[in-house]
Amino acid sequence: MAEMTLRPPQLLVSRRAIGYWTVRAAIGWLVLLAGETVLWLNNQQDPAIVYEVVLGITLVAAVLHLVVMPQWRYRVHRWERTGEAVYTQSGWFNVERRIAPISRIQTVDSRMGFFERIFGLANVTVTTASAAGPLKIHGLDRELARELVDDLIRTTQATPGDAT
Amino acid sequence: VTTATPATPATTEVDWRRLSVRMLLVHPVVESLRALPVIFGLLIVGSRSGGGGWWSLIGVGVAVALGLLRWATTRYRVTREHIEIQRGLVNRRVVTVPRDRVRSVDITAHVLHRVLGLVKVAVGTGESDRQRHESLVLDGMATGDAARLREELLHQRRPTFASPVLDGMSVPIGAAVGGPATAGPTTAGPPGPAVDAGAGGYTAPVSGPRYSETRLAKLSPAWILYGPFTLSGLVTVGVVLAFAWRTINEAHVNPERVGIVRSVTDELTAIPIGLAVVEVIIAAMIVIAVLSTLGYVLAFWNFSLTRNEAGTLHIGRGLLTTRATTIEERRLRGVELSEPLLLRAVGAARCIAITTGLRVGRGAERGGSLILPPAPRSEALRVGEDVLGQAAPLTTQLVGHPRPALRRRLTRSLFGAAVLIGLAGLLSWGVSEPVWVIGVAIVAVPLAILVGIDRYRSLGHAVVGHHVVFRLGSLVRRRSALSADGVIGFTLRQSFFQRRSGLVTLTATTAAGRQRYELLDVRAGTAVAIANQALPGILNPFLVQAQVQASGPSRSPASVVENG
């Protein structure tokens, strides 16, 4: 018998998610850079070169991360639903695929953070009865997310049982 | 057989019940015990401790008052469909759980409870965390009430509702209000023995049908010899040290002035440091062994596992604090055989039920699902087989994991050793010679290699009939047989490095037990095959032949549909 493998889910998330991921990561880096700058300016005794090197390394890492991560992530983040299951793929450096049968879904909800709202995005969280089981789809177009939530809620209400 | 109450207009009201009044005695005592270091400090040292101690005491008073308030405002009732618990004085809230969601009932009683004839009842449901997991706990119920509640929740719902009397009543509740009050007698068949049909609500039958119990396991005194190998004494040592430390702090006692401590430290400083270290280690080992044995006896004395005909497993144990857990067998999703390293070395194992409503290792429910304390491995296998109904999932030879998994285990454990060595290096920076770092390295590296190899050897999996079997771990090796019914979904995780060696970590998520059961480092094809067997059909639309599919997740542009 030929060995079977899982193919990735078919649907990509919104292209605007790239901007969203970039902005969110940039804020983290800015906080770190700001902290380092404050330390550098308040420095009394240590040689300044130490701070300059650390700051330089941080800056290079930040730029690399901001250029590479969102693009990479955009290629990885995917999702798909069939009549029986929801299938997601997320991550970038490490990749995670999750599959949950629709019959085991307990709740479906959609959230919009501040930055997601700016980019017109929303994430959809599908929870099951397992504390380890939520599926999250990030960076969906807001309209699409709403449709997906409505659709999933309709389907799950029609299928009883959640394996508890 | 009790008589039905006179027919009254049908309502859905069922009386609220309260916790036992004797609970009023428990709270103050427990809170005072908890505050013993503070009280000790205040009484012995008096005003010297300044205002802090008094504040702590006020805190104790507040805790007692809250406890009393909790008692006074807690009510519960069991209606025909639900169990309801009402709490709160200002923010009165009612937790309502459908009775068919009740999976387990866990009754514990510590010494004070037992003196007063009280227990704490925790009702386990299949709800996931987010939905107020702790809220179905009733602390301070009279022992008899608790037993009655357990019977109602786990043993009497099916027979009661199947009785012809209630079948005749099976109209929507809304319609029942003001409906005929003569429901019971109008139906054909013998009236049910103990059903308060006239009230339309549900009253607990005092004497329901009796079910027989079969004993599956019982503590054998010889097992106590495994006590030292459980290392449970480590926790006790920690608690005692913390208590001592608090007392010293609150009472401002200088430990140097306590006779015993002083003579011991004098003794140790007098001898060479190597000898002192050895002495301390030996003393610690003895103390931990004794305490662990004591812990074993305290926790597992009178242990017994029985099966009730009505479809439940019942676990009772404990010397001072007793615990009685009842699990609905229909909700049992498997069994875990757990072998901590030391117990494995002496051929012992524990057995844990994988069930919804009792999570493993969490707060109040900790240990509730233990169906066999450390006992001979053969005994654990026997009990596991009895509970599962088959031996194969626990005894079948497992399939080992591919070779690259060994490299990954070794990398991990050596990385851990490197961190330790690095820490030792930092600590001894400029203080002493690097001899310490070398010493740590000499010990840590071989140990890390051994642990890595053992972890690899532990890895294994199998699909046996309806069960997926997972095994992993070295310090605690766990073999879990999880029923496919309980599998809620799968997660396939690949780190960057795993992708390069074609491995994946497969996690089955479930509402039972640990909530997640992992298979570390299996080949991608194997993971898919296992998932496909556990959730047949679900994966089909996502499957492709291995040769067609390139390994990277981003390489099937033809199938990509852009949106948004």
> pLDDT per residue over A49-90, tens digit each?
888 899 999 999 999 999 999 999 999 999 999 988 999 999
Is B542 in CB contact (< 8 Å) with chain A?
A: yes
- Given pLDDT bands bounded at 50, 70 and 90, which one contains residue B20? confident
The answer to whether residues B37 and B252 touch, using CB atoms and an 8 Å cutoff, is no
Residue of A nearest to B355 (CA): A164
* Nearest-angstrom CA–CA distance, A61 and B320: 59
The answer to whether residues B20 and B118 touch, using CB atoms and an 8 Å cutoff, is yes
- Interchain pair A6, B539: CB under 8 A: yes
pLDDT in tens, B420-435: 888 888 877 766 666 7
Query: Average pLDDT for residues B279-303, to the nearest whole number?
Result: 90
Q: Which of A89, A94, A129 sits opposite B511 (nearest CB)?
A: A129
- Interchain pair A3, B543: CB under 8 A: no
- Interchain pair A163, B543: CB under 8 A: no
Q: How distant, in Å, are the alpha carbons of B60, B83, B140 from that of B120? A: 22, 16, 5
**Chain B stretch 299-318, residues whose beta carbon is closer than 8 A to a beta carbon of chain A:** none
Judge whether residue B505 has pLDDT over 90: yes
Which 3 state secondary structure label does DSSP give A129? coil
CA distance A64 to chain B (A): 18
- Residue B70: what are its φ and ψ, rounded to 5°? -60, -40
Write the DSSP symbol of residue A113.
-
pLDDT in tens, B92-109: 778 888 888 888 888 999
- Residue B138: what are its φ and ψ, rounded to 5°? -120, 105
> Closest Cα to residue B396, out of B321, B354, B337?
B337
DSSP calls for B389-431:
T-SHHHHSPPBPPPTHHHHHHHHHHHHHHHHHHHHHHHHTTTT
Can you give the pLDDT at residue B528? Answer: 92
Judge whether residue A138 has pLDDT over 50: yes
CA distance B338 to chain A (A): 21
Query: Average pLDDT for residues B131-144, to the nearest whole number?
Result: 74
Q: What share of chain B is helix, strand, coil (3-state, %, to 5)?
A: 45, 25, 30
Buried b (16+ CB within 10 A) or exposed e, B550-559: eeebeeeeee
For the ranges B256-260, B386-390, B444-448, the lowest mean pLDDT is seen at B256-260
Can you give the pLDDT at residue B359? Answer: 63
- Given pLDDT bands bounded at 50, 70 and 90, which one contains residue B42? low
- Collect all residues of chain A within an 8 Å Cβ-Cβ radius of residue B534: none
- Interchain pair A7, B554: CB under 8 A: no
CA distance B492 to chain A (A): 5
Residue of B nearest to A1 (CA): B545
CA distance B116 to chain A (A): 36
Can you give the pLDDT at residue B442? Answer: 86
Tally of CB atoms within 10 A around B361: 11
Checking A67-74 for CB contacts under 8 A at 24+ apart, the result is: A69/A21, A69/A25, A70/A17, A70/A18, A70/A19, A70/A21, A70/A22, A70/A25, A71/A18, A73/A17, A73/A18, A73/A21, A74/A12, A74/A13, A74/A15, A74/A17, A74/A18, A74/A21
> Closest Cα to residue A122, out of A99, A96, A140, A104?
A140
> Closest Cα to residue B181, out of B12, B4, B10?
B10
Can you give the pLDDT at residue B368? Answer: 78
Can you give the pLDDT at residue A129? Answer: 81
CA distance A13 to chain B (A): 7
Which of B515, B542, B556, B562 should be substituted to probe chain A, the one whose Cβ sees the most A Cβ atoms within 10 Å? B542
Size of interface A-B (CB pairs under 8 A): 175
Task: Return the residue matching tokens 């030292």.
Answer: B228
Is B557 in CB contact (< 8 Å) with chain A?
A: no
Q: What is the CA radius of gyration of chain B?
A: 29
Between B287 and B357, the more confident residue is B287
- Given pLDDT bands bounded at 50, 70 and 90, which one contains residue B201? very low
* Nearest-angstrom CA–CA distance, B292 and B235: 9
pLDDT in tens, B344-387: 999 999 999 998 876 665 544 566 788 999 999 999 999 999 99
**E strands present in B92-162:** 93-98, 102-109, 118-125, 137-142
Query: Average pLDDT for residues B522-547, to the nearest whole number?
Result: 89
* Nearest-angstrom CA–CA distance, A88 and A97: 6
Judge whether residue B460 has pLDDT over 60: yes
- Collect all residues of chain A within an 8 Å Cβ-Cβ radius of residue B490: 98-99
Query: Average pLDDT for residues A33-53, to the nearest whole number?
Result: 85
For the ranges B85-94, B417-426, B550-559, the lowest mean pLDDT is seen at B550-559
- Interchain pair A96, B491: CB under 8 A: yes
- Residue A88: what are its φ and ψ, rounded to 5°? -130, 155
- Interchain pair B564, A16: CB under 8 A: yes
Is B19 in CB contact (< 8 Å) with chain A?
A: no
Distance from first CA to last CA of chain A, Å, rounded?
34
Is B528 in CB contact (< 8 Å) with chain A?
A: yes
- Interchain pair B510, A6: CB under 8 A: no
Judge whether residue B48 has pLDDT over 60: no
> Can you list the alpha helix ranges (DSSP code H) found in B200-258?
233-251
- Interchain pair A99, B524: CB under 8 A: no
CA distance B438 to chain A (A): 30
Can you give the pLDDT at residue B561? Answer: 43
- Collect all residues of chain B within an 8 Å Cβ-Cβ radius of residue A89: 553
- Interchain pair B544, A13: CB under 8 A: no
- Interchain pair B510, A135: CB under 8 A: no
Judge whether residue B504 has pLDDT over 80: yes
Can you give the pLDDT at residue B455? Answer: 95
* Nearest-angstrom CA–CA distance, B170 and B14: 17
Amino acid at A132: A
- Given pLDDT bands bounded at 50, 70 and 90, which one contains residue B512? confident
Which 3 state secondary structure label does DSSP give B156? coil
Can you give the pLDDT at residue B51? Answer: 58
- Collect all residues of chain B within an 8 Å Cβ-Cβ radius of residue A108: none
- Collect all residues of chain A within an 8 Å Cβ-Cβ radius of residue B535: 99, 101
CA distance B534 to chain A (A): 12
Judge whether residue B72 has pLDDT over 60: yes
Q: Which of A7, A87, A97 sits opposite B549 (nearest CB)?
A: A7
Write the DSSP symbol of residue B476.
E
Can you give the pLDDT at residue B361? Answer: 55
Buried b (16+ CB within 10 A) or exposed e, B441-476: beebbeebeebbebbbebbbbbbbebbbbbbbbbee
Can you give the pLDDT at residue B170? Answer: 34
Can you give the pLDDT at residue B166? Answer: 34
- Per the DSSP assignment, residues forming a β-bridge with B287 are none
Q: Which of B489, B542, B547 sits opposite A104 (nearest CB)?
A: B489
For residue B520, what is the enclosing H or E element? strand B516-523
Query: Average pLDDT for residues B434-445, to the nearest whole number?
Result: 81
CA distance A152 to chain B (A): 16
Residue of B nearest to A130 (CA): B511
Between A80 and B173, the more confident residue is A80
